[in-house]
Amino acid sequence: MSNIAKAFANGKAFIPFITCGDPDLKTTAAAVREAAKNGADLIELGIPFSDPTAEGPVIEAASIRALRAGTTTDKVFDLVRDLRRDVTVPMVFMTYANVVFSYGTERFCATCREIGIDGIILPDIPYEEKEDFQPTCEKYGLDFISLIAPTSEKRIAMIAKEAKGFLYIVSSLGVTGTRSEITTDLASMVKIVRENTDIPCAIGFGISTPEQAAKMAHIADGVIVGSAVVKLLAEYGVEAPQQIGAYVRQMKDGVRG
């Protein structure tokens, strides 16, 4: 069983996202440890990118704060090395294609394996362009996570058939950010996914409350929350890790139902 599969082995999974280096890497380390301690099943670590075109204002602002604080890909790798001394939950990187490509895809993936990263999510790499990254990920034992969106329609089956690790279901049109209501017919999307693959699927984009999380966990195998976690970092800064721990616990209780 891959590490990522393990994240979905204990009932419905809760997956928080944290932008590395916001407000500094020490706070990120503390936040990840708090999240892991309080029931996060898998953690998405964002490597900040200057122009995150799939993000809404909350995560975009976090990326800018992290870069201004001097965060680099190499420093994020060091952070993960440190975390892996005691944190065992699966961790994946979420970043943009150019961050991986400019580092050298081979060198990036090799480093990920060395430091204990389990997968990579690149929101600007659709099915048609995954050949640039997926084979290298596979070579180093990393899952290259695919996304499906409300507009995917006939593409869902094609994407699901080749998906690795888990399938990231984008709940709504638009960019990341909290939403009061999610209107997409996610159950129909999940049904097509289930017909085409056995790997788990998790829903992200727009989820912030335990009630929303519970509702989504009924439909899919896991729930991903980014902006709501990042908002805590924006609000509480270096004091955020404790808040994040409490929030993760609430959300994990939510997905347990």
Partner 1 sequence: MTNPNGRFGIHGGQYIPETLMNAVNELEEAYNYYKNDPAFQAELETLFREYAGRSSGLYYAEKMTRDLGGAKIYLKREDLNHTGAHKINNVLGQALLAKKMGKTRLIAETGAGQHGVATATAAALFGMECVIYMGEEDTIRQALNVYRMRLLGATVIPVTSGTATLKDAVSEAMREWTNRIDDTHYCLGSVMGPHPFPTIVRDFQAVISKESREQILAKEGRLPDAVVACVGGGSNAIGSFYHFIPDEGVRLIGCEAAGRGIDTFETAATVNTGKLGIFHGMKSYFCQDEYGQIAPVYSISAGLDYPGVGPEHAYLHDIGRAEYVPVTDDEAVDAFEYLAKTEGIIPAIESAHAVAYVKKLAPTMSADQIIIVTISGRGDKDCAAIARYRGEDIHE
Which of 72, 196, 209, 250: binder of partner 1 (CB under 8 A)? 72
Minimum distance between the CB of residue 256 and partner 1, rounded to whole angstroms?
29
DSSP 152-197: -TTHHHHHHHT--S-EEEE-SSSSSS--S---S-HHHHHHHHHHH-
Q: Does 167 bind partner 1 (CB under 8 A)?
A: no
Stretch that binds partner 1, among 5-13, 97-105, 185-193, 249-257 (CB under 8 A): 97-105
Characterize 12-22 residue by residue with b for buried, 16 or more Cβ atoms within 10 angstroms of its Cβ, and e for exposed. Answer: bbbbbbbbbbb
**187 binds partner 1, rule: CB under 8 A:** no
Q: Contact at 8 Å (CB) between 45 and 18? A: yes
Using CB under 8 A as the binding rule, whether residue 101 contacts partner 1 is answered as yes
Q: Can you tell me which of 60, 118, 143, 221 binds partner 1, judged by CB under 8 A?
A: 60
Alpha helices for the chain (secondary structure H): 3-7, 25-37, 57-68, 73-83, 97-103, 105-115, 134-139, 155-161, 186-196, 210-219, 227-236, 240-256
| Cβ closest to partner 1, residue 127 vs residue 140 | 127
Query: To the nearest whole angstrom, how small is the minimum distance from the Cβ of residue 150 to partner 1?
Result: 7
3 state DSSP class of 149? coil
Torsion angle of alpha carbons 50, 54, 58, 64, nearest 10°? 0
Could you check whether the bond before residue 23 is cis, i.e. omega within 30 degrees of 0?
yes
For partner 1, which stretch binds (CB under 8 A), given 11-19, 23-31, 99-107, 185-193?
99-107
CB 37 within 8 A of CB 47: no
Residue 119: phi and psi, rounded to 5, are -170, 170
Among 26, 51, 114, 162, binds partner 1 (CB under 8 A): 51
Min dist CB 204 to partner 1, Å, is: 12
CA 170 to chain centre: 11
Taking the complex as a whole, the smallest distance from the CB of residue 70 to partner 1 amounts, in Å, to: 11
> Is 185 a binder of partner 1 (CB under 8 A)?
no
- For residue 54, state whether it binds partner 1 (rule: CB under 8 A): yes
The single residue among 21, 46, 119, 123 that binds partner 1, judged by CB under 8 A, is 123
Using CB under 8 A, which of 31, 89, 91, 149 touches partner 1?
A: 149
Which residues of this chain interact with partner 1, rule CB under 8 A? 49-51, 53-54, 56-57, 60, 64, 67, 72-74, 96-103, 123-129, 132, 146-153, 155, 159, 170, 173-175
